[in-house]
């Protein structure tokens, strides 16, 4: 290496379970690196038991370089050697890992004397296995040269877990605003879900897991439809709670009023048919999907958890509600459905907020500042 005069050559490492928030961040960082003229490769740890190559497909469509490292089980020595060989051949000068598995192999790969930056998007502790992984990850990332949290709350959690304060920084997520701007309502898409032309569609996008709070949204949907019959709900995403949630929908008599779409690749188009976006999460970091909803100029309602209050100011750029409170969620939904002027005002203010503070370009500039800090300093010999 020739010192800080080099441009950052970044290898991202991530094990993916779908195209979710962390994957979106990796994609945007790689896109912005390419736009700056820098070398960047997305290293995808391929879980052969649960194959998820959505990130690879989307990244390839943007012309980005993707390297797939096959991985058999939780630890595969062959994967370790493949990553080391890739580093020695392609000579990235910085490693950026995401998630406990990416961090595990990142620690090993960093032994190739490559500076190592970690982004912690969130630790989920909803199962015994996830609690163990979070504990292991909290130990692994102490060896990183830099640790980035996507929210102040996660940053505090990392400090409490033993990550040194001198290594820690909070960088807000950012999105590609152009993907969600200037989209007209797709009437055919709306009708494809069985929604009438005058239906008011409330939607949410995210993994169908317990911490996302969908069960509370279903109870709010039942109460909302009782007072606003033309309301309909669109739940986008996949996860281990789907069967339970669909049964709850049937039990509440909402089978024809709440649609589960499963995983979708046309999120900007789906956003265009929504009248209102809701994020009823019990736990969050910096949710990319909320930024996307704001960029799509949607009025939003979200639980006041994680970094969400940093994004939304109640009554101005969105509505904040307490988590796990279907009554408060119902009240917020009905208020915005009945007051179109208020909904439009909030949507416009939210759109301005995300444009000003949460663009992919802003996020990438902050990360690239950290990248350059981690590159070796020039010496008299290499100036």
Full pLDDT tens readout for the chain, 383 residues: 334 447 899 999 999 888 888 999 999 999 999 999 999 999 999 876 666 789 999 999 999 999 999 887 767 889 999 999 999 999 999 999 999 999 999 998 888 889 999 999 988 776 788 888 889 999 999 999 999 999 999 999 999 999 999 999 999 999 999 989 766 778 899 999 999 999 999 999 999 999 999 999 999 999 999 999 999 999 999 999 999 999 999 999 999 999 999 999 899 999 999 999 999 999 998 999 999 999 999 999 999 999 999 999 999 999 999 999 999 999 999 999 999 999 999 999 999 999 999 999 999 999 999 999 999 876 544 54
Report the phi/psi class of residue 318: left, alpha or beta, with left for phi > 0 and alpha for psi in -120 to 50. left
Q: Which CATH number applies to 177-357?
A: 3.40.50.2000
Q: How crowded is residue 175: how many other Cβ atoms within 10 Å of its Cβ? A: 23
Confidence (pTM): 0.86
Report the relative pairing of strands 94-98 and 116-120 from DSSP bridges: parallel
- Give CA angle at 56 (50, 57), nearest 5°: 105
- Give CA angle at 321 (315, 349), nearest 5°: 30
Topology of domain 10-174+360-374, CATH = Rossmann fold (3.40.50)
Domain-wise residue ranges, the chain: 10-174+360-374, 177-357
Same fold, 10-174+360-374 and 177-357: yes
Return the bridge partners of 65, or none.
41
- Segment 221-276, tens digit of pLDDT: 999 999 999 999 999 999 999 999 999 999 999 999 999 999 998 999 999 999 99
Question: Do 295 and 181 touch, CB atoms closer than 8 A?
Answer: yes
Question: Do 294 and 353 touch, CB atoms closer than 8 A?
Answer: yes
Q: What is the SS3 assignment for 153? A: helix
- Angle, nearest 10°, between helix axes 242-251 and 214-227? 20
CA-CA distance, 274 to 190, in Å (whole number)? Answer: 9
């Amino acid at each position: 290496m020739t010192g800080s005069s080099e441009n950052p050559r970044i290898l991202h490492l991530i094990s993916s379970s779908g195209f979710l928030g962390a994957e979106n961040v990796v994609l945007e960082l790689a896109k912005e690196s390419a736009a700056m003229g820098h070398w960047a490769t997305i290293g995808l740890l391929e879980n052969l038991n649960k194959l998820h190559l959505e990130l690879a497909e989307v990244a390839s469509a943007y012309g980005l370089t993707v390297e797939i490292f096959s991985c058999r089980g939780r630890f595969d020595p062959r994967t370790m050697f493949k990553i080391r060989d890739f580093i020695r051949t392609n000579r990235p000068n910085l490693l950026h890992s995401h998630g406990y598995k990416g961090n595990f192999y990142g620690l090993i790969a960093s032994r190739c004397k490559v500076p190592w930056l970690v982004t912690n998007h969130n630790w989920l502790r909803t199962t015994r296995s996830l609690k163990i992984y979070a504990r292991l990850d909290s130990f692994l990332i102490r060896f990183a040269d830099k640790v980035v949290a996507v929210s102040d709350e996660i940053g505090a959690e990392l400090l409490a877990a033993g990550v040194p304060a001198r290594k820690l920084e909070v960088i807000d997520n950012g999105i590609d605003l152009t993907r969600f701007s200037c989209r007209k309502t797709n009437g055919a898409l709306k009708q494809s879900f069985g929604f009438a032309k005058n239906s008011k569609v409330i939607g949410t996008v995210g993994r169908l897991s317990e911490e996302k709070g969908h069960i509370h949204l279903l109870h709010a949907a039942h109460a909302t439809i009782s007072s606003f019959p033309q309301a309909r709900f669109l739940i986008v995403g996949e996860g281990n709670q789907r069967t339970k949630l669909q049964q709850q929908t049937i039990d509440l008599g909402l089978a024809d009023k709440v649609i589960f779409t499963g995983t979708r690749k046309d999120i900007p188009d789906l956003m265009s048919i929504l009248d209102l976006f809701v994020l009823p999460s019990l736990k969050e970091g910096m949710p990319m999907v909320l930024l996307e909803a704001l960029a799509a100029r949607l009025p939003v309602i979200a639980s006041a958890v994680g970094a969400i209050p940093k994004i939304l100011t109640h009554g101005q750029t969105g509505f904040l509600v307490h988590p796990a409170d279907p009554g408060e969620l119902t009240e917020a939904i009905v208020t915005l459905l009945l007051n179109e002027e208020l909904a439009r005002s909030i949507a416009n203010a939210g759109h301005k907020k995300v444009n000003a503070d949460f663009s992919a370009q802003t996020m990438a500039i902050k990360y690239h500042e950290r990248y350059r800090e981690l590159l070796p300093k020039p010496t008299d010999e290499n100036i």
